[in-house]
A and B are shown apart, each in its own frame.
Chain A
Amino acid sequence: EIVMTQSPATLSVSPGEGATLSCRASQSVSSNLAWYQEKPGQPPRLLIYGASTRATGIPARFSGSGSGTEFTLTISSLQSEDFAVYYCQQYNNWPPITFGQGTRLEIK
């Protein structure tokens, strides 16, 4: 099973600033990585797939990068609606599909 590790667990950032979230895989997942945003009481929302492709309707301030074992989700100029929990998910070697434990992005 591929273990996904996200860092940091919590990130405090002021609105208008940028944020960088990291995700590391225990072995290479190529570019088979997705990012989701989760808000309280809502299901996860797909942001990025293929490590860097934005899903339909996702603002350009969200960008993904990386391949192999190291991945980054960057959010430029944080809006109030961006404060949420973010999960990475690998789909290169499955079953099982595995998720990171999440990074909570909170308002500083």
Chain B
Amino acid sequence: QVQLQESGPGLVKPSETLSLTCTVSGYSITSGYYWGWIRQPPGKGLEWLGSVYQSGSTYYNPSLKSRVTISVDTSKNQFSLKLNSVTAADTAVYYCARIIGSGSYYSDCWGQGTLVTVSS
């Protein structure tokens, strides 16, 4: 059974870079699917940040494109998120998820989520 687990600092200072890693178990990232990051500010809805394919091809939300980088490390079966120049508006629960792909870009498996607070 595939499982995803986010890890990384829970507190980031304004203007710094938020870095999170998603470790995938029970499934090889190289076997297919897309892998993505979604966030949810406290009390608000879901926002897709971007996705990466096993090949390293990336797709980003245009609203964040200049600040976000998603990469994959197949040797560790992990993928990562970097969001630079963060502000308080980036405070959210960050989820990693598996995305089906092949024209069906919905998420069938999610990590538990990790709260990242941006504060000095």
Contacts and interface: CB of A to CB of B under 8 A. Distances in A.
Interface of A: 1, 32, 34, 36, 42-46, 49-50, 55, 87, 89, 91, 94-102
Interface string B101-115: 001111110111100
Interface stretch (B11-19, B21-29, B41-49, B84-92): B41-49
Interface of B: 36, 45-48, 50-51, 59-63, 95, 97, 100, 103-108, 110-113
A32 B99 CA distance: 13
A99 B100 CA distance: 16
A43 B108 CA distance: 11
14 contacts: A32-B104, A32-B105, A34-B107, A44-B107, A46-B108, A50-B104, A55-B108, A91-B104, A95-B48, A95-B62, A96-B62, A98-B48, A100-B45, A102-B46
Given A95-B60, A95-B61, A96-B63, A46 B48 contact: no
Contacts, number: 62
- Chain A interface secondary structure, helix, strand, loop or mixed? loop
A86 B59 CA distance: 25
Nearest to B110: A43
B50 A95 contact: yes
Which 9 A-B pairs have CB atoms at the shortest separation, nearest pair first?
A: A43-B110, A91-B105, A34-B106, A97-B48, A96-B61, A99-B46, A101-B45, A49-B106, A95-B59
